[in-house]
């Protein structure tokens, strides 16, 4: 692995992933959280943006397919028909 590849994978991708979170976090500082619900919504938005950014920026194709397969297995529902 070359030094350039190492720097891109180890530093540039995570920083590129963190930039939107830093910007949103700074914007959230200027919004007054009037309730715990609003604070929780801000936190969930930050986590959601981070999850999507990390999925597309930090993971390669094999890791994305692994995560997609595991999430599909967790959220896949089987239809159960009961005849009585």
The beta-carbon contacts of 12-15 under 8 Å, at least 24 apart in sequence, are 13/57, 13/58, 14/58
pLDDT recorded at residue 72: 84
Note whether 25 and 46 are within 8 A (CB): yes
Q: Say how many residues make up the chain.
A: 84
SS3 84: coil
pLDDT recorded at residue 12: 86
pTM: 0.70
Q: How confident is the model at residue 84 (pLDDT cuts 50, 70, 90)?
A: low
Instruction: Write the CA distances from 21 to 35, 49, 76, integer angstroms.
Output: 22, 7, 30
């Amino acid at each position: 692995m070359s030094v350039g590849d190492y720097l891109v994978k180890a530093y540039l991708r995570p920083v590129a992933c963190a930039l939107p979170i830093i910007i949103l976090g700074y914007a959230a500082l200027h919004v007054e959280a009037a309730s715990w619900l609003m604070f929780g919504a801000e936190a969930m938005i930050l986590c959601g943006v981070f999850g999507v950014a990390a999925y597309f920026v930090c993971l390669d194709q094999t890791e994305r397919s692994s995560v997609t397969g595991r999430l599909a297995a967790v959220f896949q529902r089987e239809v159960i028909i009961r005849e009585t």
